Chain A
Amino acid sequence: MTGFEQLQTRLAELSPKLYPLFSEEFGDAVIGVERSQLIETAEELRALGFDRLGMVTAIDRQEWFTLVYRVASRSLSAAVFLKTRVPREDAHLDSLCGVWPAANWQEREVFDLFGIVFDGHPDLRRILLPEDWVGYPLRKDYEDDRIIRRPDYI
């Protein structure tokens, strides 16, 4: 039995709510949710023992942003990726600071570099870039004359 199947079996016993959301993506256990379900899913995961939020990040998929949260549990010795999407024109979703305090700085980083707004975040300010920076550098359409384009030959 792979780690994914083990975790799937455990979740089937522990949480009938999370079980149907569960899938395998590139060998990792992924729970994909709508952004409106994010907080309740996160709370359910936390109640199951997923007490460590390791990473928060985003991927610019042109029409939408994919938000990726990696949460781990010591008691279940397992980790899952919690994923959700937000549309590009309406880039905001609920903050998970209330569920895992570790989200605080990492959500600020996503806000800083992608311009995704986290509703209910206690201190949503830029973190890596200066406060007067214009634009969000990790968006694919970001333009800046300081970016040096490498030639296509390698």
Chain B
Amino acid sequence: MTLQIESRTPALDDAGHPVEELVLNVGPSHPSTHGVGRMIVHLDGDVVVKVTPVIGYLHRGIEKMAENRTYLQIVPLTDRLDYVGSMYANWAYCRAVERLAGIRVPERAEYLRVIVCELQRIASHMMSIGSSAADTGAFSMFIYTFDVREGVVELFENLCGSRLTYNYVRPGGVSKDVPEGWTDDVLAFTGSLGPRLDELDRLFFGNTITRGRLKGVGVLSPEDAVAWGASGPAVRGSGVNWDLRQHRAYSVYPRMEFDVVVGERGDAYDRARVRLLECYESAKIIEQCIAQMRAGAIMTEGLPRLLAPPVGEAYDHIESARGSLGVYLVSDGSERPYRMKVRSPAFCNLALLPLLAVGHTLPDLVVILGSLDPVFGEVDR
């Protein structure tokens, strides 16, 4: 790939000496890029003048691969999109297939989907907060948040045998019912979560260094957030109340009582804090689900192994940890999709980086990138 550097007349400093812009390459393999992302940063001294994100290092062509696979064979591909939140891509894809093929999902499966996705939200937000903290030098926080995340990952391992790529949500339901005692383990986890989150809140968000590093950095106005298509904590951190779980209330969310957490200032601090506070809400939702869930089927009866939905198009989206995750499917009546498109919230949120970073210093750029929480598996697809 060729890197084009614009030539421009150098500006002059107060003493009349020419000031040259420094072009710095960050990544694609760099700890602060949260994966394999690259940024070309133009610096004036220590201040960012322009950022050009360069993405695609993890592009596997999942949308193209899907055209060559049956509907059931695509579910494991969706695990590889957002690899810290596989359950969401599983679910968004399955919802699109179910709309396309007109499949009704048993109620117990819907509850299980909500439970795993809310657990996933806690795990994913912990990853985000932990790595944001590590970006600002607070590495010990990373250990605390990963301790919480480990609890979720262990629950998932007991549920479906996998710690990262779950392949749990399937068209028509979920792959397995819960093992014995699993819901008690979940309740023990959510019961102990509150004090642990309180501790994180005190340790990280109450910390003077964190406040100094995160407050007022990367301020996103509500107007820009909406116009640029931000979603998830990136838009809610700016005070925009937009959460598909409430505004489009899919699955069993209409029966749940929870609050949509919104920030005020739209800076990196608010985006991170929205993530922390959402974990409390997720625990509430999980507890309500377990209380309401009844025994029953977890998979639609009589579903053919080889799905061939009628000719048509379907779009469905869910609120993932990063925002509105949508899947658009086009069927030509065969057993393989004609076209699959993944509307990736991480991709759309990352498009905000050039807007947010200008005028901040290079270390702040790292904080801003972390606050947008990109997962490059999903950005690049």
* Contact between chains at B68 and A129 (CB < 8 Å): no
A-B residue pairs, 3 tightest by C-beta? A102-B229, A128-B56, A105-B351
Contact with A along B41-59 (1 / 0, CB 8 A): 0000000000000011001
Kindly list chain A residues whose C-beta atoms are within 8 Å of the C-beta of B39.
Answer: none
User: Considering the chains assembled together, what is the distance between the CA atoms of A55 and B335 in angstroms?
Assistant: 25
**A contacts, CB < 8 Å to B:** 25-28, 51-55, 57, 59-60, 68, 70, 74, 77, 81, 100-102, 104-106, 109, 113, 126-132, 137-138, 147, 149-150, 154
Contact with A along B83-109 (1 / 0, CB 8 A): 000000000000000010000000000
Q: Interface on chain B toward A: helix, strand, loop, or mixed SS?
A: mixed
* Contact between chains at B339 and A60 (CB < 8 Å): yes
User: Considering the chains assembled together, what is the distance between the CA atoms of A102 and B68 in angstroms?
Assistant: 30
Q: Which among A59, A74, A128 is the interface contact of B338 at CB below 8 angstroms?
A: A59
* Contact between chains at A55 and B328 (CB < 8 Å): yes
* Contact between chains at A102 and B351 (CB < 8 Å): yes
User: Considering the chains assembled together, what is the distance between the CA atoms of A26 and B224 in angstroms?
Assistant: 32
Q: Which among B56, B229, B314 is the interface contact of A130 at CB below 8 angstroms?
A: B56
* Contact between chains at B61 and A25 (CB < 8 Å): no
* Contact between chains at A149 and B68 (CB < 8 Å): yes
Q: 27 pairs across A/B with beta carbons < 8 Å?
A: A27-B314, A28-B313, A28-B315, A51-B227, A57-B328, A68-B328, A70-B315, A70-B326, A70-B343, A100-B227, A101-B224, A102-B228, A102-B229, A102-B348, A104-B351, A105-B350, A105-B351, A109-B347, A129-B59, A130-B56, A137-B64, A138-B64, A147-B64, A147-B68, A149-B68, A154-B70, A154-B73
Kindly list chain A residues whose C-beta atoms are within 8 Å of the C-beta of B68.
Answer: 147, 149-150
Give min CB distance, B94 to chain A, whole Å: 17
User: Considering the chains assembled together, what is the distance between the CA atoms of A149 and B324 in angstroms?
Assistant: 32
Q: Interface on chain A toward B: helix, strand, loop, or mixed SS?
A: loop
* Closest chain A residue, CB of each to CB of B330: A59
* Contact between chains at B314 and A128 (CB < 8 Å): no
User: Considering the chains assembled together, what is the distance between the CA atoms of A152 and B103 in angstroms?
Assistant: 25
* Closest chain B residue, CB of each to CB of A154: B70
Any A CB within 8 A of the CB of B69: yes
Any A CB within 8 A of the CB of B226: yes
User: Considering the chains assembled together, what is the distance between the CA atoms of A77 and B228 in angstroms?
Assistant: 18
Any A CB within 8 A of the CB of B294: no
Any A CB within 8 A of the CB of B17: no
* Contact between chains at A106 and B348 (CB < 8 Å): yes
User: Considering the chains assembled together, what is the distance between the CA atoms of A145 and B326 in angstroms?
Assistant: 31
Kindly list chain A residues whose C-beta atoms are within 8 Å of the C-beta of B315.
Answer: 28, 55, 70, 81
* Contact between chains at A26 and B328 (CB < 8 Å): no
* Contact between chains at B381 and A128 (CB < 8 Å): yes
Q: Which among B63, B247, B317 is the interface contact of A138 at CB below 8 angstroms?
A: B63
Kindly list chain A residues whose C-beta atoms are within 8 Å of the C-beta of B242.
Answer: 74
User: Considering the chains assembled together, what is the distance between the CA atoms of A52 and B225 in angstroms?
Assistant: 9
Any A CB within 8 A of the CB of B2: yes
Give min CB distance, A65 to chain B, whole Å: 11
Kindly list chain A residues whose C-beta atoms are within 8 Å of the C-beta of B224.
Answer: 101
User: Considering the chains assembled together, what is the distance between the CA atoms of A120 and B344 in angstroms?
Assistant: 24
* Contact between chains at B1 and A130 (CB < 8 Å): yes
Q: Which among A26, A81, A105, A130 is the interface contact of B348 at CB below 8 angstroms?
A: A105
Give min CB distance, A23 to chain B, whole Å: 13
List 8 additional A-B contacts (Cβ < 8 Å) besides A55-B315, A104-B351, A154-B73: A74-B247, A77-B247, A101-B224, A101-B229, A105-B348, A105-B351, A128-B59, A147-B68
Any A CB within 8 A of the CB of B380: yes
* Contact between chains at A154 and B313 (CB < 8 Å): no
Kindly list chain A residues whose C-beta atoms are within 8 Å of the C-beta of B350.
Answer: 105
Kindly list chain B residues whose C-beta atoms are within 8 Å of the C-beta of A137.
Answer: 61, 64
Any A CB within 8 A of the CB of B306: yes
Any A CB within 8 A of the CB of B341: yes
* Contact between chains at A102 and B56 (CB < 8 Å): no
Give min CB distance, B241 to chain A, whole Å: 8
Any A CB within 8 A of the CB of B18: no
Q: Which among A52, A55, A147 is the interface contact of B341 at CB below 8 angstroms?
A: A55
Give min CB distance, A2 to chain B, whole Å: 15
* Contact between chains at B326 and A54 (CB < 8 Å): yes
Kindly list chain A residues whose C-beta atoms are within 8 Å of the C-beta of B330.
Answer: 59
User: Considering the chains assembled together, what is the distance between the CA atoms of A138 and B66 in angstroms?
Assistant: 11
